[in-house]
Amino acid sequence: MARDAGSRAPSPDLSSLPSVEELASSLDGVPHAVAVTAAREAIAAARAVLLDGGGAGDLAADARARAGAALEPSLRRVLNATGVIVHTNLGRAPLAAAAMDAVRDAAAGYSTLEYDVAAGARGSRHAHVEGLLCSLTGAEAAIAVNNCASAVLLAAAALAGGRELVVSRGQLVEIGGSFRIPDVVSQSGARLVEVGTTNRTRLADYERAFSADTGAVMRAHQSNFRTVGFVEEVEIEALCAAAADAGVPVIDDVGSGALAERLPELADEPPVRRSVAAGCAVTCFSGDKLLGGPQAGLMVGSADAIGRCRSHPLARALRVDKLSLAALEATLRLYLDPRRAMREIPVLRMLAAGAEELGARAAAMAAAVGEAARVIEASGKVGGGALPLLELSGPVCAIDPGAVGLDELARRLRAGDPPVIGRAREGWLLLDPRTLSDDEAGLAAAAVAAVL
């Protein structure tokens, strides 16, 4: 049966909506292109609400909010209260003050990136860090590329491209982003030769695999996991000795870059200096994990092997930029004085933070938040695929979200400026002082108090 015409809901008056240009022109101080996009989105949203029977609301306010969001930087600072020191999603290692100063200086104008001032001629960008890396590791030569995955790829391509690359089955690992050793070997142009088993590889397994077509043997550190129980692997010294007898170079991917010495928390990480001393042709490690610098892949080793890597066509495609080089050089200079490195490199300082320091910071946060907070014991992680079994226990500030609810509290803190990122445990929001400075802890606590 036909509906009575008089019972129909009235059509919304869409003519009341302003034109895009009219609304955009009212957004004073907003770049025109941004204003037009924001106005178009606000009008479209209002039209949908009107067609659904609602009211259009304050179009100007909506458009200004959209424009403000569009002008906000996408990459911005956050307060890491998770207790994960090398947090991949939050930018991994925070830089030392000296490294930040070096980046500002390099970014402010022209630099000696590839210019030799003394000679008045073209120089090498690797020269800024090669001497430091050799001094700190005992290597003959060194270069830096844009990350450790690049370093492994370049080493495999330069030393074993078109030939066989021998790898233990227990080291055919996958790290973050589905980066797998077999895929790297394939992209390098080398042919993978697997030896041993998943849990046990002996020296004889390698020796049987060496042939006239062997380009190199590679060892890959199990950075983000450990195999325990009925396991066996070959120590780097024995592997290098056997490889040397066969005339085969060794590539050692040690992962996170443990340059600091006599730090108990790093005991399970393979020292870079040990691999160099053992005779590895190339040792690869990260600059932005346990080393505490910018994203970089560092390659140290023999002059011949590093020279082959430096002259390979991939080296230019994988090279590191001037800002990363500036930060890396400054970070490496701190390592020349181990005590200063422990004081000034944030990753090392966080790793070694004691209960007294953490307790004072957690208590200050709890006092600033008020009745909803208390200090409890909890464990953090190193993160970044490093030291997966290490539990960094210590005091944290635990927040009872109350009526706000845990998810809503976390959402509101993420929406702040700067966003505060904590971690949840059993209905509480934990703010871990290990990954916060005193000033950052104060900001985080103030943000929580404002929300609650």
Give all strands (DSSP E) within 28-152, no chain letters.
Answer: 79-80, 115-116, 121-122, 141-145
CA distance 15 to 193: 72
pLDDT surpasses 50 at 1: no
Give me the pLDDT at residue 376, please: 96
For 97-344, CATH number out of 3.40.50.10490, 1.10.274.10, 3.40.50.300, 3.40.640.10 equals 3.40.640.10
Which pTM was predicted? 0.90
pLDDT in tens, 86-104: 999 999 999 999 999 999 9
pLDDT, average across residues 107-128: 95
Strand partners, 218: 167, 251
Three-state DSSP class for 78?
A: coil
- Which structure tokens are listed for 359? 């307790």
pLDDT, average across residues 219-233: 80
- CA distances in angstroms from 303 to 143, 156, 169, listed in the order given: 11, 16, 29
Give me the pLDDT at residue 165, please: 97
CA Rg, the chain, in Å?
A: 28
pLDDT in tens, 329-347: 999 999 999 999 999 999 9
Q: Report which of residues 388 and 427 the model is more confident about.
A: 427
CA angle 119, 121, 122 (to 5 degrees): 130
Query: CB–CB of 304/159 below 8 Å?
Result: no
CA distance 386 to 258: 10
Q: Report which of residues 107 and 184 the model is more confident about.
A: 107
Mean per-residue pLDDT of the chain = 91
Q: Report which of residues 240 and 7 the model is more confident about.
A: 240
The percent of residues in the chain predicted with pLDDT above 70, rounded, is: 96
pLDDT surpasses 80 at 224: no
- Name the residue among 251, 293, 280 with its Cα closest to residue 128: 293
Question: H-helix or E-strand containing 378?
Answer: strand 373-380
pLDDT in tens, 18-54: 999 999 999 999 999 999 999 999 999 989 888 888 8
Q: Quick one: CATH architecture of 79-88+349-451?
A: Alpha-Beta Complex (3.90)
Residue 312: how many CA atoms within 13 Å on its side-chain side? 26
Strand partners, 191: 164
